[in-house]
Structure 1
């Protein structure tokens, strides 16, 4: 049921993409904002309370719904898995912006590419050059592929035996709460719980994702960049994804970037050519090959379980 749920959810998401600003995400975001306003008294324990209030009901609903429906019919349990995966996972939640930027750069429309990148990332991009737009888009695409696909898929597969889609719900909720409560450079005591939970959940899937990039790209360069460059990035988990992805594609990411009306100096990640618009398709290809690799691995494990 696990592999079938993943395939059906991916097909559904390709046929009818769901926006990252859909009503469910917006409702959860509003609840997270309300909890922060109500509970944030500058103490760590308040962040723990807020995290539990925000996530436990969702986990209970996902578990109860799965066991209730699978008790009625395995097909209803499968449908529940697909619906929850459809809401929590999705390549198309960010690939639309990525594709639009690629098309705009191909025809030399830098202003449109900047506008699409700004809407996607929420950053000021008006001073970025064409190569900077391409480089930042590739970075965001690699990170979003992890958040929206690989991280969610990993925890869905790991916990599917326990209670259907609970792993996907757990990871998506933890990711959104960390984004809302601990996205600043200086994390407040209230946001440390959300940041800590996400760091724990990220530990294994980040490394599996980087390994997938290495296998489906330039293996030696990906592993070398991962081991030698990732720690220089401010966020180590992101550094692993970006360094391995850059090495696998054969490009250089990071470096100076014109953003927020200033120049941000960042470590260089990767080897090879400077990232430009020509490599956007290579980044998408790497992500899709890695998704297929993960599906193949899950299929092998499922077959082994069925035959045991």
Structure 2
């Protein structure tokens, strides 16, 4: 039923994209802020306790609801899985955002492309040209596809029922909310950042492998092996290096901001990013999704045959 749950959730999210993920994030963020107010003393051990208190009750409630519904009917348990996936996946919004920016770049409307990019990715692109906008959007698109589509699929397959997607989404939210302020190993948010690195280790490499298979395999593996370690965030480095190699485009490097430039390691091989490579990135994400669904279909057939 794993494959059918994913297909139905993806179909619902694609044809009726809602704000369920935003509501989920908003509710949990409010809860996380309450926990932080009581536990944030600037010490790591209190950060560990806060992370457990924030994550474990939500996981327990999610698993308990699935158990109760499945006890009434397996169909109800399956529908709960679909509801959780629908609330954690975000595929349609990614495709719409990338397509809108691509069209603006192709029509030569740089201000519109810049506004759309800033509104979607949150990055400051005021002083960026078309190439830098395309580069930043491709990077954000690959990372978004990983965290909001492929990692959710991997965690759903690896952990029973709806626990995997919920654990990944909660870990991601806490890492961004608490771990983003880490300044020292003993800080309150250090454990949140480290916990997400652990949860994301297998999904990040699974996404990178999917990009390599769906694109230029040789260049993707080369960039992954040689360039990924240069990126500060190791998971993002693996994904971006593999994705850039698969597309045959150069990502990273300096990105202009109103107050100057900041340097990021260059990953990938080939040409500078542009609107055509943005279209190629959309195609790579679609092919990778189809690859995962075909793999799950093969596993389902093997299980039935066995």
Shorter-chain TM range is: over 0.9
Residue 166 in structure 1 maps to residue 146 in structure 2: no
* TM-score for both structures, normalised by structure 1: 0.95
Corresponding residue of 2:101: 101
SS in 2 for 1:297: helix
Corresponding residue of 2:88: 88
Corresponding residue of 1:4: 4
- Corresponding residue to 1:218 among 200, 216, 219: 216
SS in 2 for 1:258: strand
- For the residues of structure 2 that align with 1:304 and 1:78, how far apart are their CA atoms? 21
- Corresponding residue to 1:238 among 231, 236, 246: 236
User: Larger deviation: 295-304 or 283-292?
Assistant: 295-304
| Equivalence map 1:109-128=2 (5 Å) | 109-128=109-128
- For the residues of structure 2 that align with 1:56 and 1:167, how far apart are their CA atoms? 12
Shift of 1:19: 3.6
- For the residues of structure 1 that align with 2:143 and 2:181, how far apart are their CA atoms? 17
Shift of 1:196: 1.2
Structure 1 runs not aligned, ≥5 long: none
Corresponding residue of 1:303: 301
Check conservation: 1:93, 1:148, Cα contact below 8 A: no
- For the residues of structure 1 that align with 2:259 and 2:110, how far apart are their CA atoms? 17
- For the residues of structure 1 that align with 2:194 and 2:52, how far apart are their CA atoms? 13
- For the residues of structure 2 that align with 1:79 and 1:238, how far apart are their CA atoms? 33
- For the residues of structure 2 that align with 1:100 and 1:186, how far apart are their CA atoms? 37
Shift of 1:85: 0.3
Residues 185/48 of structure 1: CA separation in 2 closer, same or farther (3 Å cut): closer
How many equivalent residue pairs?
305
CA-to-aligned-CA distance 1:243-289 (integer Å, 9 cap, x gap): 00000000000011013532011111100111111111100110111
Corresponding residue of 1:283: 281
- For the residues of structure 1 that align with 2:170 and 2:231, how far apart are their CA atoms? 25
Shift of 1:182: 1.2
User: Larger deviation: 121-130 or 218-227?
Assistant: 121-130
Shift of 1:113: 1.3
SS in 2 for 1:266: coil
Structure 2 runs not aligned, ≥5 long: none
Shift of 1:186: 3.1
SS in 2 for 1:128: coil
Shift of 1:184: 4.3
Check conservation: 2:21, 2:89, Cα contact below 8 A: no
The two structures, once aligned, show a CA RMSD in angstroms of 1.5
Residues 96/152 of structure 1: CA separation in 2 closer, same or farther (3 Å cut): same
Check conservation: 2:182, 2:190, Cα contact below 8 A: no
- For the residues of structure 1 that align with 2:189 and 2:166, how far apart are their CA atoms? 20
Corresponding residue of 2:207: 209
- For the residues of structure 2 that align with 1:253 and 1:18, how far apart are their CA atoms? 31
Residues 69/23 of structure 1: CA separation in 2 closer, same or farther (3 Å cut): same
Corresponding residue of 1:253: 251
- For the residues of structure 2 that align with 1:97 and 1:55, how far apart are their CA atoms? 30
* TM-score for both structures, normalised by structure 2: 0.95
- Corresponding residue to 1:183 among 162, 180, 183: 180
